Amino acid sequence: MESTELKKWIWRIVRFVWNIFALFGVFVCGYFLYLVFDEEGYCLSSQQGVWDNEQKICRKDCIKWSQEQGCITEKMLEGDTE
């Protein structure tokens, strides 16, 4: 009788560990899909940039972003003062 109880506990532990690994695998796959398909979110979160919808690129040279003008760079600001 003791061996069957021990086998049940071992089986429960094995299932628990397996579920942890499976859950970890789901999170890894989800993060991979996020990196592959979400360029806008990756640009904002990981690269600290601004997503330019017109040019479809991640801009890192924007000091300010406005709806009317889009990306305002340092060169544009220097050009206004001269």
Residues 11-57 have pLDDT tens digits of: 999 999 999 999 999 999 998 888 778 777 777 777 677 777 778 88
Q: Which residue has the tokens 């061996």?
A: 3
Can you tell me the mean pLDDT for 67-71? 77
What pLDDT is attached to residue 21? Answer: 97
Higher-pLDDT residue of 64 and 33 is 33
Per the structure block, which two tokens stand in for 35? Answer: 């990196």
Strand pairing class (70-73; 62-66):
antiparallel
Is the pTM above the cut of 0.85? Answer: no
11 neighbors 3 (Cβ within 8 angstroms): no
Is the pLDDT at 81 greater than 60, yes or no?
no
Nearest-angstrom CA–CA distance, 3 and 53: 65
